[in-house]
Chain A
Amino acid sequence: MRKKLELSFIVVLMFLVVVGCSSNNNNVTPVQSDNAGTVATSKPEESPAEPVKVELNVFMSYPQYKEQFEAYFDQFIAKELAEKNIAVTINTEMPNSDQAKQILQTRLASNDAPDLFTIHANDIPTYYNAGYLSDLADQPSINSLYEPIKKTVTFDGKVVVLPLESSTWGYLYNKKMFKELGLTPPNTLDEMKVVIEKLNTANIPPFQLAFQESWVPQLMTAQSLGGVVSSKHPDWITKMNAGEASYKDVEAIFDIIDLINANGTSKPFEVGNEAGAADFANGKSAMWVQGPWNADAILKVNADFEIGVAALPVSNDPKDTMINLSTSTSLALSSASKNKEVALDLLNYILDEKDSSVLFEQLKFNPISTVHQFKVNPWVEESSAYVAKGQAYQDLTLPNGVTDEQAKLLQSYYAKSVTKEEFISTMDKTWATAVKAAAK
């Protein structure tokens, strides 16, 4: 009797476990739509016909801008209801950019694609080849983009994403310090050596080195390779992809890299990006190969800091000194979206003639389209001047994994555990592997 009781008790427990699991699964969807419900509460009651209900899932790696985007989406919801009589509910998902890629890839792989999602412009080929992107070329928002920026998101002759964040960057310099020492940003390697000389005599380390996170030293190759390839070897990437070129051809990149490494702050591997920004802001160095995306971090430490942006010289020809123009986070429309029209409306609304300027100004993004009319930060003006003069190049599109390998090798190169020759041979091999992997 007692055994039976025990057994039945166990069976009940097991049943509970199973039921508990399954009901958990069921709960997920209602929770999401609950959130959405609060977003879409502003329904005018007088609309003549019952509005069509549409639900959009938007995935963005912007948790820091959640408020701004949700407010903007609310405007869109009101606009869509007024103009097209469509009641849109928008479910936003904004994970941290560290995890966003993982989460997104899981979603896509499991056929649970959000209607709109953000990806990095450099990842366009991967997503395009997997068939997750759709062509946006004839959308009004795309047509209003500045031509150089449009080029950054064009792949296979199609514009497949809407750029959100785009930046012009070279290296940062301490404007005040340069003024006090009577220096101007150098245009050639020799001029750079003179500047370094003067800074050294003034007892200021010329370059800020913050190599703890490998993406920071990587910026040195992004700049030097970009400059050298765009000026002297325009077909280098095509040749590399065909296996006919080598890093040996662009060895000139080491001229500036060696110069920076030899004239930097000490103990770079113990300085992370944040710590580097703090040191730079406090005048512990004069220049830093970094982008203006660090402006916030620098100004937080020293609000009076005058940020300068200049192009990194890579040779003794001043024409080779160019600024890097690149697009990072971009918005894509899923090819599997069930509500393409409404999703496209939202995508176009991001670059709306009337409202977009306010949004981009709030987000402190750079103007990317003719609809943007707002005053930009002085350093953005400074770097845009290079673009206006034609001294700009398109950020290089390197195969998957090549950038990461460069980052690792630059760390090792500074630590002297890798020689220049090993750097070159390893990069050649990595490139070949990446091309082979992409061809499959």
Chain B
Amino acid sequence: MTSKTKWKPTLILLAFVFPALLFYSIFVLAPSFGGVWYSLTDWNGLNPDYDMVGLGNYVEALTEDRFFLDSIWFTLKYVVFMVVLSNFFAILLAVFIESQKRSKVWFRTIFFMPNMLSLIIGGFMWMFIFTKVLPFIAEHTIFKFLDQSWIGDPKLSFYALLILSLWSGVGYLMVIYIAALQGVPQQLKEAAAIDGANSWQTFRNITMPMIYPALTIGLFVTLNSSFKVFEAVFALTGGGPGRATQVIALNIYEEAFSQSSRYGYASAKAMILFLIVFMITIVQLWIMKKREVEA
């Protein structure tokens, strides 16, 4: 092997990714590094003069900013609920759909559909359901408990938020799990059936272990995306009432664009969110790599 043949494929590959890389660097990488820089300043987004404040923004965010810390806690709560519930429902739906014969494609399309809608639009649809449809149902049927202030009561609006996020997110995970379920060898199930296993035992001891790799993916996809959740909250509650449902991304957005225009400070908060997501991703890659070796 000469070096000449070695660099050539690399060059060709580089050339292929070049256009994408160019746009990626201009529109994603460069602003990100800009964000790191601004997070160390007190820039207000307008004034050409600004000062370096070192790590002051970070210290303030993590020690003094009650609302930011609250939003981190709220996001964590949301993440826990989302990771558990969305994977649970996704597997449930995937198993249900795989057990169908003719209507398989039909159901798969229906459950995947919400994922193709923009979350903002979905948010407005659900807003209508929560504020108009449910009270209407409560008024005309026996389901009186539906007449709640779904958006206005801080306790209920969390569940309203979960319902919207699950509705839009589960379809995507479901497709991942369907693919995994289709990869479970039929002969294993047959062997188990011959040994007298019932359907729960088959699912627990054969299907589940076979789809663990997909479960890892599913867990981390939800973990990452629910830390960064924004549109769902923005469209449905706007973080309200007050700040009762404010997530990290919304807190950052309001700091930068609507409250006191503290761009530098908001950038620092964004960096903190980035570090959280970054750590999760590192752990994810590490675990996935380990699994690959085992497999």
Contact = CB atoms under 8 A, between A and B. Distances in A.
A438 to B, nearest CB: 9
Contacts of B254: 404
Interface string B145-176: 00001111110000000000000000000000
A313 to B, nearest CB: 26
Interface residues of A, number: 43
Nearest to B130: A270
B28 to A, nearest CB: 16
Contacts, number: 97
Contacts of A288: none
Contacts of A413: 242
A417 B154 contact: yes
Contacts of B261: 126, 400-401
Interface string A203-221: 0000000011110000000
B260 A437 contact: yes
A7 interface: yes
Contacts of A433: 260
B152 A102 contact: no
A408 B238 CA distance: 11
A14 B241 contact: no
A408 B262 contact: no
A270 B12 contact: no
Contacts of A400: 260-261
A129 interface: yes
Contacts of A102: 257
B243 interface: yes
A177 to B, nearest CB: 25
A386 to B, nearest CB: 31
A173 B216 CA distance: 59
Main SS class of interface, B: loop
Interface in A10-64: 10-11, 13-14, 17, 21
Contacts of A149: none
A269 B46 contact: no
B15 A418 contact: no
A160 to B, nearest CB: 15
B244 A412 contact: yes
Nearest to B42: A440
Given A269-B241, A413-B242, A401 B152 contact: no
Contacts of A211: 152, 241
A82 interface: no
B243 A415 contact: no
Given A10-B16, A411-B241, A412-B243, A268 B152 contact: yes
Most buried by B among A130, A267, A400: A267
Given A10-B12, A105-B46, A409-B242, 7 more contacts: A3-B8, A10-B16, A269-B151, A269-B152, A270-B131, A400-B261, A411-B242
Interface of B: 8, 12, 15-16, 18-19, 22, 42, 44-48, 51, 130-131, 149-154, 238, 240-244, 254, 257-262
Interface of A: 3, 6-7, 10-11, 13-14, 17, 21, 102, 105, 108-109, 126-127, 129-130, 211-214, 267-270, 400-401, 404-405, 408-415, 417-418, 433-434, 437, 440
5 contacts: A14-B19, A212-B151, A214-B238, A409-B242, A417-B244
